[in-house]
Structure 1
Amino acid sequence: MSEQTTTAPLVRRVDARHRYEIVVDEERAGLTAYRDRDDQRVFFHTEIDDVHAGQGLAAILVEQALTDVRTSGKRIVPVCPYVAKFLTRHQEFADITDPVTPEVLTWLDARLGR
């Protein structure tokens, strides 16, 4: 039987690509994408690669990303359905969460070229 070494997932912020990535065994396993709007970090997409699905990586990724947002002094806007759902279960971030408004959605669409 061969030994498999599995390291703990690592979450890193990649500002140049406007996202947080989760890395498992030195491979990117997923990401949550954002754009900054003044003092708000607007999260609009989260994905975990199929090979890593069902391992709880999305929750680890989003929790660490939101903790980083708190540390940086910004606020959260959860356009991404996964981030929004996560926030309903994790009220510890309620104090730094702003609502998704039509204005935010219009702004985001313009930033993303949609």
Structure 2
Amino acid sequence: MSQPSAIPVVERRDDGNRYEILVDGKRAGLTAYRDRGAQRVFHHTEIDDAFAGQGLASRLVQEALTDVRNSGKRIVPVCPYVAKFLTRNGEFADLVDPVTPDVLQWLDAQLG
């Protein structure tokens, strides 16, 4: 498979509670969240198989977390990929709130 010709672009889609990464205008992946007051609770990240192995998940999460920092919110990493990213990238450590039973119960209610 050839490399994408365009630089991937990350966009926040508030109407869908997610950040998307686009390659040549096509959605290659997403990281989904729900806002809980001043917290942005990340609960799922995925990259389409056709775009696997290109480092897109890391770029997507990096840009999403930078947006969270710029918005003044805090990060709650329920998503295993986001949690793993945070352990490897200490630059966001000051923004991370723990995943608690209350957060999980709230998230379950939000997601139905």
TM-score by length of 2: 0.96
Paired with 1:99 and 1:6, the residues of 2 have a C-alpha distance of: 39
Pairwise CA RMSD: 1.0
Judged with a 3 Å threshold, the aligned counterparts in structure 2 of structure 1 residues 5 and 35 are, in CA distance, closer, same or farther, namely closer
Judged with a 3 Å threshold, the aligned counterparts in structure 2 of structure 1 residues 70 and 5 are, in CA distance, closer, same or farther, namely closer
Q: Check if 1:97 corresponds to 2:102.
A: no
User: What number of residue pairs does the alignment pair up?
Assistant: 110
Which secondary structure state, in structure 2, belongs to the residue aligned with residue 33 of structure 1?
strand
Report deviation, 1:57. 0.1
Judged with a 3 Å threshold, the aligned counterparts in structure 2 of structure 1 residues 27 and 106 are, in CA distance, closer, same or farther, namely same
Q: Could you say which residue in structure 2 is the equivalent of 1:24?
A: 23
Alignment of 1:30-69 (within 5 A): 30-69=29-68
TM-score by length of 1: 0.95
Unaligned runs of 5+ in 2: none
Q: Could you say which residue in structure 2 is the equivalent of 1:88?
A: 87
Unaligned runs of 5+ in 1: none
Which secondary structure state, in structure 1, belongs to the residue aligned with residue 54 of structure 2?
coil
Paired with 1:87 and 1:64, the residues of 2 have a C-alpha distance of: 13
Report deviation, 1:5. 6.5
Q: Could you say which residue in structure 1 is the equivalent of 2:76?
A: 77
Sequence identity, in percent? 73
Report deviation, 1:28. 0.3
Report deviation, 1:65. 0.1
The structure with the largest alpha-carbon Rg is 1
